Amino acid sequence: MSDISPLSEDDLAFLASYLPPSAQRVTKTQESDGTTSTIKEGEIPFVTLTYASSLDSMIALAPGARTTLSGPETKSMTHYLRLHHDAILVGAGTAVVDDPGLNCRYPGATLQTQPQPVIVDPRCRFEVSSSAKVCQLAADGKGKAPWIVCVEDNGKPENDLARNISIKTDMAALQSSSDSQQISMQWLDILRALKAEGMNSVMIEGGATIINALLLLPNVVDAVIVTIAPTWLGRGGVNVSPAAQSRGGESTNAAWLRQTSWRQFGNDVVLCGRLGDRDTTT
């Protein structure tokens, strides 16, 4: 028996306005610290950033520690969201530690409606093998073979179990840069490559480095959906906390959510919203 149950009509209505539209995304412009970046209509996929967090903003007990936070109701929500996206994206660290299946088990899902698993792996950390859960599910017809996003000429051999998507950007800098403009350019390269492969919507599930980077990019992320579990993980955990930002020489909040909605799913609470500058939080 599946551990994923259908959501209620009220749950579906709550999520509806944050799902990818059938039409392509509209043009969006972001102005930050005197810079302007414009994304043309249809240039990149619709992007949903989603993750589960404790009350102290932790997503894992410690680096490299597999940690379950979502209850059964929000787990079902995650699989419902996957059903409505063309691709699921995680970083190599998450793929190595969690060995995720990256498929959809929501009732009614078929192989045709399965999202495309995508692993961003600039340092070739993830070993593609038949023992990886994502590859096992693909072999069993319960998911699709993963795409590995890597840097051109990285020496990573082709593998029958996965497909390499090579791009020119310096993805290694994604793990260290706090410059939102530089991060934006790197993510635009990744997302354009996925769009060119027919991915019109991407659900990004982590890990922390990717989440912290994307929280700085309201011109890239269309929806944010956060599961908040009723627990504190304590010091030493892996936390979600984007790099400090400033405006006019003064410190300011790193990221803001607008158009927010809250709903309880079992013991968890789900927060949905859209990233925006302070002046657009209403």
Domains by residue range for the chain, with CATH: 9-15+42-276 (3.40.430.10)
pLDDT, one tens digit per residue, over 179-216 is 556 666 789 999 999 999 999 999 999 999 999 999 99
Tell me the C-alpha distance between 173 and 177, whole Å: 6
For CA atoms 258, 261, 265, 267, the dihedral sign is: positive
DSSP string, 75-130: HHHHHHHHHT-SEEEEEHHHHHHH-------STT--TTTPPEEEEE-TT--S---T
Tell me the C-alpha distance between 141 and 135, whole Å: 10
pTM of the model: 0.88
pLDDT, one tens digit per residue, over 63-73 is 999 999 999 99
